[in-house]
Amino acid sequence: MRFESLNLDQKLIDAVHAMGYERCTPVQEQALPECLTGQDVMAQAQTGTGKTAVFLLTILNRMITSNDPGGSLRALIVVPTRELAVQVEEQAVLLCKFLHYRSVSIYGGVGYDEQERALAAGAEIVVGTPGRMIDFIKSGKLKLGTLSFFVIDEADRMFDMGFTEDVKYILSKAPDKEKRQTIMVSATLDDRVRHVAYQYMREAVEVEIEPDQITVEKVTQHLFHVSLEEKIPLLLTLLRRENMERAIIFCNMKRTVEDVGYKLDGNGIKAEVLTGDVDQKKRLKIIERMKNGEVHVLVATDVAARGLHIDNISHVINFDIPADAPNYVHRIGRTARAGATGVAYTIACERHVENLPAIERYIDMKIDVAPMDFEMAEDVSGNRPRGRRPDTRGGRPSGGRDGGRDRHSGGGFGGGGRGEGRGERRPPPSRDGRGGPRPETRGPAPKPKKEMSEEQRMELYRNKYGDSFGGKAPEQGTGMGHGPRHAGERPAGGERKHGGQPPRQGGERKPGDHPRGRRNRGKGPRHGKPQGLEQGQKQGHAEQKPGTHKPAHKPAHKPAHKPAEPGKKKGIISKIFGIFNKKK
C-alpha cells in the first residue's frame, strides 16, 4: 500500500517521500486506517517496522484536518529511554518539514534549564521519559489541560524498566480518556500492557503483525564455535574480511565491552564504546557519529539493544551469547530495518554456549554453523592494563606490601595468568637464604593443552548439553548437572550431599547427650537440679554403664527447698522457690 491511498495531507506525503519512503510497512498498513479515524489503538510489531510513523502521522494529519493553529501542547509521547526520545523527536521534525508545528524532547541526564526554556517557547508535540515529565508536571512547567493525543511507545520495555506507576501518574494528570486519543505501541502485548490499555483507553483496537518471538526474516544468521582465546582473532577477521558499512558488536558485560574496544583500537580498527556508564551528552555524540558515517563500529551492552535506531546497520555481531533469549531478537533487530537486509554473526565459546539451546528454541530454528575455512587474524594489541582498586577497609592499597591485587585483573580474553595485574614482588629466597631463583621441586611443567577441532568441540557440547543441542530440552538427570530432586528426597544410603559426618542410625545418642543434641559436659542440667534427686547425685541414666541395669535411687518423699550450701550462690530458680516457701 502506498501512502497516497491513506488520504494523508499532501504536505505529509511530501515529507514522507523526502525521507525516502514510498510504501507502507505491514504495521502502518493495518494500524494507520484505524488511528486516522480517531480510534484508540494497541499496535504490536517487531522493532524497526515503522511503528513510530504510525502515531506521528496520525497526530499531524488530525491536527491539519481540524485546522489546529497550534501554539499549545497537543500530543504527549512517553518513551522508556533517552535515546528513543531523541530519535522520535528527530522523526517528528522531518515530518513537520512543510508544517509550522514544533516538537521538543525532555529527558534526564542533561541540563534542566535548557529544556525548560524549550517548553516555555511552546511546542505542540512533547516527547520524553517518565521521570523528567513528572518533574516538569509537578513544577507547573508542563500543563496537560490542552492535550488531545497520548502515546506510549515501547510499552513492554517501559513496564520492564519499572515505569508503570509513573505512566499511570502522568495519565492521571491528562484529560479523561473520552477527550483524548490514546495510542500504545509495543513489541509484545502482554497482560501488563493490556491491563493499562483497558484502564486508560476507549475500546482499543488491537493490531498484531507478528509476535516478537519470530526473528526478522531478512536477517541472515551465522554461528561460529570457537574457544575463548579465539574470539578476538575471529572478531578481527570478520571485521576485516566482510564489507561492513556499519556494525554493532554486542557484549554481555560492561567490562567485556571495554576490553573489546581496547582490542579493536590496538589493532587499528576505529570503534566507539557504549555502556550504561557513558553520560548522556557523550552517548548522543556517539550515535550522531555513527549516523554521519564517522564511526563504522559500535561496541555496546544491551543498553543499545532496544530503542536505538541507526540507519543502514549492515551487520550485528554477538561477541557474547545473551543469557536472555529475547535479547537475541532485540540485538539482531538493529539490522534489516525498514525492509532492508542484514547479517548477524554469533560467536559461541565455552563460557556462553550454554545459552544457545534456549535461543534456538525461542526462535524455533537452528542457527547455521558457518565453516571456518579461513586463517584468523593475529591480535597485536596486548592486554588492557588494569587499575588498582583502593582498599576501603584500611586506608592503604589492598594486598599490603605487594602494591595491591586485583582479583579481576588478568589477560583479557584468556591471556595471562593469575599473577597479572599484581604489584611488584621480591623473588622468593633460595635454600641458602641469599635470594635468587629457587630450584623447582614440583616436578615437570604441565603439557600444553591440545587444541580441539570444531568437530571435537561440538561433540563435547552435545555430550554436555544433550544430543539435540538446541532442540529438545535434556531429560532429567542428564545434560547440565544433576536432575531435579523432589521435595523430601535424599540421596541413597543416607549420605550427605555436601560432606560432613553421616547421620546416626536408629536415633542413638551418646551417653550424656541433651535430647536436642547438646551435651551437658558434666555440669548438670541447665536449670538447677531436678526434683527428686539429692544434691550431688547425677541422673540415673547418665550413671549407668553400657550393658548394666541399675535403677536410679528415689527418695521416699520430696525434700523441701534446701538452703544453699555455705560459700555457694543461689541460682535464679532457687531464689524463686525460696520466696514462695517464705510466703507459705
The span from the CA of 54 to the CA of 33, in Å, is 10
Q: What is the pLDDT of residue 339?
A: 61
Q: What is the pLDDT of residue 176?
A: 94
pLDDT of 177-191, one tens digit each? 999 999 999 887 878
Element (H, E) at 250: strand 247-250
| 133 touches 127 (CB < 8 A) | no
Q: What is the DSSP string of 154-178?
A: SHHHHHHTT-HHHHHHHHHHSPPGG
Say if pTM beats, i.e. exceeds, 0.75.
no
| Backbone phi, psi, residue 552, to 5° | -70, 145
The span from the CA of 584 to the CA of 578, in Å, is 10
**Half-sphere exposure at residue 303, Cβ-oriented, CA atoms within 13 angstroms:** 20
8-state DSSP, 379: P
Alpha-carbon torsion (29, 34, 38, 41), positive or negative: negative
**Does residue 63 have a pLDDT over 80?**
yes
**Could you tell me the domains of the chain?**
3-208 (3.40.50.300), 219-363 (3.40.50.300)
Q: What is the pLDDT of residue 441?
A: 41
155-159, 249-253, 301-305, 398-402, range with greatest mean pLDDT: 249-253
The span from the CA of 252 to the CA of 37, in Å, is 44
When pLDDT is averaged across residues 257-276 and rounded to a whole number, the result is: 91
**Does residue 388 have a pLDDT over 70?**
no
328 versus 499: the higher-pLDDT residue is: 328
Strand partners, 44: 186, 208
**Does residue 6 have a pLDDT over 70?**
yes
**What percent of the chain shows pLDDT beyond 70?**
63
Q: How confident is the model at residue 276 (pLDDT cuts 50, 70, 90)?
A: confident
Say whether 131 sits in a helix, a strand or coil. Answer: helix
The span from the CA of 450 to the CA of 154, in Å, is 49
Q: How confident is the model at residue 581 (pLDDT cuts 50, 70, 90)?
A: low
204-213, 259-268, 521-530, 575-584, range with greatest mean pLDDT: 259-268
Q: What is the pLDDT of residue 574?
A: 64
Q: Which long-range contacts (CB under 8 A, 24 or more apart) does 117-125 make?
A: 122/71, 122/72, 123/73, 124/63, 124/68, 124/70, 124/71, 124/72, 124/73, 124/74, 124/75, 125/59, 125/74, 125/75, 125/77, 125/89, 125/92, 125/101
| 115 touches 40 (CB < 8 A) | no
The span from the CA of 562 to the CA of 431, in Å, is 71
| Backbone phi, psi, residue 373, to 5° | -95, 40
The span from the CA of 230 to the CA of 378, in Å, is 10
**Does residue 73 have a pLDDT over 80?**
yes
384 versus 214: the higher-pLDDT residue is: 384
| Nearby residues of 384 by Cβ (< 8 Å), 6 or more positions away | 258, 259, 262, 263, 412
50 versus 65: the higher-pLDDT residue is: 65
134 versus 381: the higher-pLDDT residue is: 134
- Here the cell at position 31 is 494500524
Element (H, E) at 125: strand 125-128
pLDDT of 226-236, one tens digit each? 999 999 999 99
> What is the C-alpha radius of gyration for the chain, rounded to an integer number of angstroms?
36
When pLDDT is averaged across residues 309-317 and rounded to a whole number, the result is: 84
* Helix, strand, coil percentages, rounded to 5, for the chain: 35, 10, 55
Element (H, E) at 53: helix 51-65
Q: What is the pLDDT of residue 325?
A: 85
| 300 touches 253 (CB < 8 A) | no
Which range has the worst mean pLDDT, 88-97, 367-376, 462-471? 462-471
Rounded to the nearest 10°, the torsion over CA 476, 480, 481, 482 is: 0
The span from the CA of 399 to the CA of 393, in Å, is 11
When pLDDT is averaged across residues 568-579 and rounded to a whole number, the result is: 62
The span from the CA of 341 to the CA of 333, in Å, is 11
When pLDDT is averaged across residues 147-175 and rounded to a whole number, the result is: 92
**Does residue 112 have a pLDDT over 60?**
yes
- Is residue 148 classed exposed, middle or buried when 0-12, 13-18 and 19+ CB atoms within 10 A define those classes? buried
**What percent of the chain shows pLDDT beyond 90?**
38
Q: What is the pLDDT of residue 524?
A: 46
The span from the CA of 70 to the CA of 96, in Å, is 13
Q: How confident is the model at residue 192 (pLDDT cuts 50, 70, 90)?
A: confident
361 versus 383: the higher-pLDDT residue is: 361
Written as one letter, the residue type at 143 is: K
8-state DSSP, 415: B
CA distances from 81 to 160, 275, 282, 540 (A): 12, 14, 15, 77
Q: What is the pLDDT of residue 397?
A: 35
The span from the CA of 517 to the CA of 531, in Å, is 23
The span from the CA of 48 to the CA of 209, in Å, is 13
pLDDT of 396-454, one tens digit each? 333 333 333 333 333 333 333 333 333 334 444 444 444 444 444 444 444 445 566 66
The span from the CA of 33 to the CA of 294, in Å, is 39
Q: What is the pLDDT of residue 115?
A: 92
